Structure 1
Amino acid sequence: MSAVPASRRARRRREALAGYALLLPSIIGVGGFLLVPVVLVVLISLTRWDLISDPSWVGLGNYTHLLGSGAFWNSLRVTVLFTLMSLPTSIALGLLLAVAVNRGLPGTSLLRVLYVLPWVCAPLALGVVWRWLLDPTTGAVNTLLGRRVEWMSDPSLALPAVAFVYVWQTVGYISLFFLAGLQQIPPSVYEAARIDGAGPVRMLVSMTLPLLRPTTFFVTVTSMIASFQVFDLVYGLTGAARGYPAGSTDIIAAHIYDEAFVALRLGRAAAMAVLLMVVLVAVTLLQQRYFRRRITYDMT
């Protein structure tokens, strides 16, 4: 009688070992490329290091300096403003584009390819191209408008211009997720709504949006994280001049890059990266708490 349980335990151990063996490559990848870098950044944030001399321990000195630095708070403010400009706009346009493509109108296959092209292109290259397009003298945008507009030289227009280019780049990517979510909604749900007399607007507000909440949650969280970390697009648009003009585009990722590789203050750059991670985790948890009781996964 005791041989059967022993054989079962041995089989379970073999299955567990086989499972861990299959997971080992992923565990090594996550540990080597995610957990270890995070730990190293936290340790560097507690030091003063210029990549040349040996690191010196300063404890929480870098964090104290940043919390009292007007430049850091300006970067955080600019990043939040950029996110508030770009995130709702890109999500709304992405949803409307997905609804239009989901109708299967003629030419939607070509349209699907066209609106994804900006997302697959290098953001730095897009930033350089759009800097040419927005040039106040020879840019195509001002030529079409028939007037001279200092898009990237006016502090009141620079950040909205950057947000516009970012929305143009990401709206196709976002619409793909909404399109996938729309195609998971059973057609019978809309047929029942039409029988009850619901119009297109009513079905969009009362049925489509609630059933798309899992997709909306994913898109909102990932897009928010991406908007807080945007760097290369802004780098190309501003011509590598951090915060140009007058600090209006001084996003926090550019500030981290400048502190690390221009000023060679890696400790402060790492501290900013840690503070940014804390902000992103806090905002993500708030979003998860908001969506948790409002999501419907079962559409049968």
Structure 2
Amino acid sequence: LMWDALGHSAYFTLLVVPCITVLAFLLAMLAHHIERGKWLWRLCFFLPFLLPSTVAANLWQWLFNPGTGMINHVFGLQTPWLTDKSYALLAVVITTLWWTVGFSFLLYLAALQGIPAHLYEAAKLDGANAWHRTLHITLPMLRNITGLVVALQILASLQVFDQAVVMQDFGPGPEESTRTFVQYTLEQGFTSYRVGYASAISIIFFMLIAAVALARMWLLRNREEGGR
């Protein structure tokens, strides 16, 4: 059960991290280059992140409801999002993307505003089109912020708990498909009262989180030394 829960957390992380990284970058590019209503676009992209996790989870629990939810109604689907193990974790992933992408969007937007404009002007004079400017100027200049976004999202995704629990009414989901590592640890410690076992597996989780953080620091240090 412990390895199953860890696998769910890892699978969730593998789905969320690349999607959030790409989506946040695209939204930041849109908000950075759009001219009319720029403040409104930025507000719409960032606003969901200000919601409490329980509010976001309850909202999407209603949207995914197979009988009264808007998702199935609008798209003409009959998908049992929250009651089928094939879709339950995917529903949590979609909810997380909508709810948390605003934070990474804000980081990318701030980084885009820090890129010197004369680099783009020089590239235009050399005949570079928009795709070449993005590929050879924007992406390399955002390399450090991309590494930060990926590291933060890995750490946050591995600790997923709130939205998965609330959307399944504090249960493990259909056939225990949405039980994450944090949820399993809390169940063992505070429901089954196996405090020693819960403490032991929490150490494993701590070592995993620490390994991710140390890997990020090691990569950053090597990159800085390589640039000198």
1:206 paired residue number: 136
Structure 1 segments unaligned to the other structure (5+ residues)? 1-70
Q: Could you say which residue in structure 2 is the equivalent of 1:196?
A: 126
Please report how far the alpha carbon of residue 201 of structure 1 lies from its aligned counterpart in structure 2 after TM superposition: 1.5
1:92 is matched with 22
| Alignment partners' CA distance in 1, 2:224 and 2:149 | 14
Quote the residue 1:77 is aligned against. 7
Cα RMSD after superposing both structures:
1.7
Does the CA-based 8 Å contact 1:259-1:265 persist in structure 2?
A: yes
1:292 deviation in Å?
Answer: 3.9
Counterpart in 1 of 2:186? 257
SS of equivalent to 1:222: helix
Cα offset, 1:295, TM superposition = 6.0
Structure 1 residue 291, shift from structure 2 partner: 4.3
Please tell me whether the aligned partners of residues 128 and 239 of structure 1 are also in contact (alpha carbons under 8 angstroms): no
Partner of 1:168: 98
Give the match's secondary structure for 1:249. Answer: coil
Cα distance between partner residues in 2 of 1:248 and 1:293: 39
Equivalent in the alignment of 1:5: none
Q: Which blocks of at least 5 consecutive residues in structure 2 are unaligned? A: none
Tell me whether 1:228 sits opposite 2:169 in the alignment: no
**8 Å contact 1:128–1:236 — kept in the other structure?**
yes
- Asked if the contact 1:95–1:178 (Cα under 8 Å) also holds between the matched residues in 2, the reply is yes
Q: Provide the residue aligned with 1:181 in structure 2.
A: 111
Distance (whole Å) between structure 2 residues aligned to residue 295 and residue 210 of structure 1: 14
Distance change in 2, residues 1:104/1:262 (3 Å): same
Q: Which has the larger radius of gyration?
A: 1
- 1:267 matched to 2:196: yes
SS of corresponding position for 1:255:
helix
Contact 2:5 2:180 in 1 (8 A): yes
Partner of 2:63: 133
Whichever residue aligns with residue 82 of structure 1, its letter is: F
Instruction: Return the match for 1:282 from 208, 211, 216.
Output: 211
Structure 2 residue aligned with 1:149, among 41, 58, 79? 79
- Structure with the higher fraction of residues in helix conformation: 2
TM-score, normalised by the number of residues in structure 1: 0.71
Q: TM-score, normalised by structure 2?
A: 0.93
Percent identity among equivalent residues?
A: 33
The one-letter code sitting in structure 2 at the alignment partner of 1:246 is E
Tell me which stretches of 4 or more aligned residues in structure 1 moved more than 3 Å: 287-296
Q: Give per-residue Cα distances to partners, 1:188-234, cap 9 Å, x unaligned.
A: 11111111222212221221111112211221111111111121111
The AA in structure 2 aligned to 1:166 is T
Equivalent residues of 1:126, 1:236 under 8 A apart: no
Equivalent pair of 1:211/1:295 in contact (CA under 8 Å)? no
For residues 133-152 of structure 1, the C-alpha deviation after alignment (integer angstroms, 9 at most, x for no partner) is 11111111111122321001
1:173-193: CA deviation from partner (whole Å, max 9, x where unpaired): 111000011111100111111
Alpha-carbon distance in structure 1 between the residues aligned to 2:218 and 2:169: 40
Match of 1:246, SS state, is helix
Distance 1:267 1:189 in 2: 58
Matched residue, 1:30: none
1:214–1:295 contact (8 Å) kept in structure 2: no
